[in-house]
Structure 1
Amino acid sequence: MNLKIDKLTKKYSGKVVLDNISLDLKEVQVLALIGASGSGKSTLLRLLSGLESFDSGKIIVNGHDVDSKSDEAYRKKIGFVFQDHNLFPHLSVLENIMLVLEKVHGMKREEALPDVLRVLEQFGLNEHSDKKPHQISGGQGQRASIVRALSIHPELVLLDEPTSSLDPILTHEVLNAVKLLAEDQKDFVIVTHEIGFAKEVADYIVFMDEGGIVEHGTKEMLSNPQSDKLKAFLNKVLTFVNEL
């Protein structure tokens, strides 16, 4: 993944949530965005997807200029996994995935089905494909959401805190599923509070605070933070984890 962000600013109702941020990355496979809630991580992810417009600046993803009028073809190359799985409650896991492929991407069912079944099996969901969302766990629902994102063969997968509403056991289950993306050499950007996971899986990390990028670099920066803000953030996160 090649990503260039130049002087990007985003406001909601006059409030600045991304403040003139810039970043230039080349050949990064797994990018993790970390920081406290409200730091702008999820907003940046939505702008990368082309789902929302921004006020000023530029975003270039793999040579594609993403702007406020981002084209449908670009958005169809992006797989997005939300904080909650967003599965349609009246459809089975399989039909949730097939609906996107057939209605949005115009694929024929007989052509798409074998590949979908293969990925469902890869993520341990083949036995749950005919179940509706209320019949499976939150972790299984998020894994189904990941499969749905992968089913379109995306150029880039974006994951917005996919474990935020899960207990520790289900969090571990979903993070193991995300690790499969890394092992399959999929390019993805993940917003996460799981610092240990970011350190293990990401090859580049961006720390955000109050709408700005405070520090960024390889995973080694988590062991040797340079800024006072990152030091304070890691101290709070790691102290809390160690006290559990």
Structure 2
Amino acid sequence: MKLKIDDLYKHYDQKGVIEGLSLDLKDLKILSLIGASGSGKSTLLRLIAGLEVYESGSIEVNGHSVTADASNDYRKKVGFVFQDHNLFNHLSIFENIMLVLEKVHHRNRGEAEAEVTQLLDQFGLLEHAHKKPHQISGGQAQRASIARAMAIKPDLILLDEPTSSLDPVLTYEVLNAVRKLAEKSIDFIIVTHEIGFAKNIADHIVFMAAGKIIEQGSADILNAPKTNELKSFLDKILTYNSPEL
């Protein structure tokens, strides 16, 4: 993956969410965005996906300029996994995946059925293929969302805190599914609060605060942070001091 962002700005109701952010990465497989809530991570991910419009600056992904009118060719090669699985509740898991292939990618249903079945099997969902999202667990629904993103054979997958609303057991299930992406050498960017996971899987980590990049580098930055901001963030995430009773 090649990702170049230059002097990017994004505001909501005149409030800066991304403030002059720049990033230039090459030969990258897995990028992890970390930071406190409201730091701009999810917004940045949506801008990279072309789901939202930025005011100024530029984004290039693998040579494609991502703008408000980004080509369908780019969007069709980007899989997005939302915080809440974003599956259609009135459709079965199988049909949720098939819908994207039929309606967006104009695939022949007969040819695509075998691929959907294989993906469901790969993510341990085959026995739930004909269930609707509300009939399976949150972890299973997120795995289905990842399978749907995989179905389009993307060049890049973007995951926006896929475990944010899950308990530890379901979180483990979903992170294992994400690890399968890494094993398949698929490029992806993940916004996550699971610091241990980011440390073990990411080639490059970006720590954000107030819409800016505060520190970035390999997983080593989590072992020896150079900035007080990252050190304070990690102290809050990784340690807990019980108050006196």
TM class by shorter chain equals: over 0.9
Measured against aligned partners, the alpha-carbon deviations of 1:75-110 in whole angstroms (never above 9, x if no partner) come to: 111100000011111111000100111011111111
Provide TM-score, normalisation by structure 2. Answer: 0.97
Deviations 1:191-228 (A, max 9, x none): 00000000011111000001100000011110010000
What letter matches 1:189 in structure 2?
A: I
Q: Secondary structure at the match of 2:239?
A: helix
Aligned to 2:31: 31
| TM-score normalised over the length of structure 1 | 0.97
Alignment partners' CA distance in 1, 2:241 and 2:151: 35
Q: Check if 1:59 corresponds to 2:74.
A: no
Q: State percent identity of aligned pairs.
A: 63
Task: Indicate the SS of the match to 1:229.
Answer: helix
Instruction: Give distance in 2, aligned partners of 1:218 and 1:151.
Output: 30
The answer (yes or no) to whether the contact 1:206–1:213 under 8 Å persists in 2 is yes
Report the counterpart of residue 179 of structure 1 in structure 2: 179
Secondary structure of the 1:139 match is helix
Say whether 1:202 aligns with 2:224. Answer: no
**How far off its partner does 1:67 sit?**
1.4
In 2: Cα distance, 1:114 partner to 1:221 partner: 43
Which aligned pairs between 1:138-217 and structure 2 lie closer than 5 A? 138-217=138-217
- Inter-partner Cα distance in structure 2 for 1:163 and 1:231: 23
Report the Cα offset of residue 73 of structure 1: 1.7
CA distance in 2: counterparts of 1:236 and 1:151, whole angstroms? 38
Q: Which moved more, 1:62-71 or 1:33-42?
A: 62-71
Give the alignment of 1:9-48 within 5 angstroms. Answer: 9-48=9-48
Cα displacement (A) at 1:241: 10
Deviating more after overlay: 192-201 vs 104-113: 104-113
Q: 2 CA distance for matches of 1:200 and 1:158?
A: 18
**1:94 lines up with 2:127 in the alignment:** no
SS in 2 for 1:79: strand
Check whether the contact 1:92–1:129 (CA below 8 A) recurs between aligned residues.
yes
Aligned alpha-carbon RMSD (Å): 1.3
Cα distance, 1:68 vs structure 2: 2.2
Residue of structure 2 in register with 1:109 after alignment: 109
After superposition, give the CA deviation of every residue in 1:127-185 in whole Å (9 maximum; x if it has no partner).
Answer: 11111111100000000000000000011000000000001110011001000000110
In structure 1, how many angstroms separate the alpha carbons of the residues matched to 2:238 and 2:77? 36
Equivalenced residue count is 243
Deviation at 1:240?
3.5
- For 1:19-56, what per-residue CA distance to the aligned partner results, in whole angstroms no more than 9, with x for missing partners? 00101000110100000000000000000001111000
Q: Unpaired segments of 5 or more residues in structure 2?
A: none
The Cα shift of 1:242 comes to 11
Equivalent position SS for 1:197: helix
Report the Cα distance in structure 2 between the residues aligned to 1:193 and 1:108, rounded to whole angstroms.
Answer: 39
Which residue is 1:126 aligned to? 126
Contact in 2 for aligned 1:51/1:75 (Cα 8 Å): no
**Which deviates more, 109-118 or 39-48?**
109-118
Runs of 5+ in structure 1 lacking a partner? none
